[in-house]
Structure formats: C-alpha cells, structure tokens
C-alpha cells in the first residue's frame, strides 16, 4: 500500500514536471486572413443604344410654295415626302446641311427627276465633282448645289414640270441615293 502511494506520487511529479517544462510560447501569430475581399466589379449595364431619331419629325413646310429640307452627317434627309401644292406656279426646296462634315466627305444636294431615272442620273454624275450631276442632263428638272455641313442652298422648279407625278427628290453624292431620296406629291 505504501509503495503504491509512492509510485503514484512520483507519477504525478513527473507529470507536473513535464507540464512545467513545456512552456511553449503561446504567441500564435494572428492568422493574417487576407481580408482584401475584392470588390466585385459592378456590372454596369450597357446603356441601350439610342434609336436614331425618327426621320420625319423635323421637316417643316416653309410657307405655301416652299419646303425646308434638312440633311445630316448620317446621310439622311428629314423627310421621305414633300407635298407640292398644285396651286403653286413655282416651288422651292431650301436644303440645310445640319451636320458638320465637309462637302467632300458628306456632301448633299437636291435633284428633281423621275423616280425611275434617279439611279441613272446619280450614276452618270458619280465622277463629276463637285455637283455630281451631268451638265445638261435632260432627265433633271432642277438641281441645287452640293453643300457640306453648316451650309444651305435651295432649288426652285416649275410645278407644271412635275404635275404628271412620279417625280422624286434625291441626293447624287456617290452612294447617297439609296438613303437620300423621297417623293414629290403634287396635290
């Protein structure tokens, strides 16, 4: 019985000694948690492309026997039809280029001819700078100068010459005819 107690005491002493000697420095370095949580890039929704302005809003009838026609840097007139009162003897189309591009790059004019002749008139004038209309072209009722951004011009014609109908107004700058043409309606 005595021996047993002694062994037990020794065992305890050993245990204590072991514990005492094991003084591990308890300075655990703070785990450097990478707190740099990357800010999620905000998905900026792409702004919806603005629809091109309607073509026919800005056209204005400039009095009984005239019309204010606008053209721009996007190769457009601002109307697809011009009403010409049958009561007018002469009719004038005032053309304004509201863009800023030079005439050599984005020139516009107004030529009056039968719709069926428009393509041939433009083709025959394609190489003829600066007006792009063949001199003395019998198919042409009237034509304005070719203008660039910020400029204005006008063309006047006798209404009787288009009274039978089927006439268009169009631009003969190379490549513009498909976009830039409209009807003349005598009424």
Q: Which residues would be at the binding site for Cu ion (CB under 5 A)?
A: 108, 171, 173, 176, 180
Using the minimum distance from each CB to Cu ion, give the nearer residue, 66 or 97.
97
In the bound state with Cu ion, the residue whose beta carbon lies nearer, of 129 and 160, is 129
**What residues contact residue 161 under an 8 Å CB cut-off, 6+ apart?**
141
| Closer CB to Cu ion, 109 or 157, in the complex | 109
> What is the closest distance, in whole angstroms, from the C-beta atom of residue 120 to Cu ion in the complex?
17
From residue 46, alpha-carbon distances to 36, 49, 50, 51, 53 in Å are 28, 8, 11, 14, 20
> In this structure, what are the phi and psi dihedrals at residue 125, rounded to the nearest 5 degrees?
-100, 0
- Percentages of the chain per state (helix, strand, coil), in multiples of 5: 20, 25, 55
For Cu ion, the nearest residue by Cβ is 171
Least distance CB 164 / Cu ion (angstroms): 26
Nearest approach in angstroms of CB 180 to Cu ion is 5
- Residue 41, token pair as written in the block: 């890039």
Based on CB atoms, which residue is closest to Cu ion, 82 or 171? 171
| Cα separation, 133 vs 171, whole angstroms | 10
Residue 158: which H helix or E strand, with range? Answer: strand 152-158
Alpha helices in the chain (DSSP H): 2-21, 103-106, 118-125
- Beta carbon of residue 158, minimum distance to Cu ion (angstroms, whole number): 24
Pick between residue 65 and residue 80 the one whose CB is nearest to Cu ion: 80
Minimum distance from residue 176 beta carbon to Cu ion (Å): 4
């Amino acid at each position: 019985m005595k021996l047993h107690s002694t062994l037990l005491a020794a065992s305890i002493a050993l245990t204590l000694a072991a514990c005492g000697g094991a003084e591990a420095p308890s300075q655990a370095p703070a785990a450097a948690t990478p707190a740099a949580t990357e800010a999620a890039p905000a998905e900026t929704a792409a702004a919806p492309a603005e629809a091109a302005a309607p073509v026919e809003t800005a056209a204005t009838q400039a009095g009984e026997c005239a019309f204010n026609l606008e053209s721009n840097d996007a190769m457009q007139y601002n109307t697809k039809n011009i009403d010409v009162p049958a009561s007018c003897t002469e009719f004038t189309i005032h053309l304004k280029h509201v863009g800023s591009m030079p005439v050599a790059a984005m020139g516009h004019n107004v030529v009056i001819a039968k719709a069926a002749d428009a393509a041939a008139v433009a083709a025959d004038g394609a190489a003829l700078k600066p007006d792009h209309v063949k001199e003395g072209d019998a198919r042409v009722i009237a034509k304005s100068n070719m203008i660039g951004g910020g400029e204005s011009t006008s063309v006047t014609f006798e209404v009787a010459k288009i009274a039978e109908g089927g006439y268009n107004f169009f631009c003969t700058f190379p490549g513009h005819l498909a976009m830039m043409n409209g009807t003349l309606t005598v009424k």
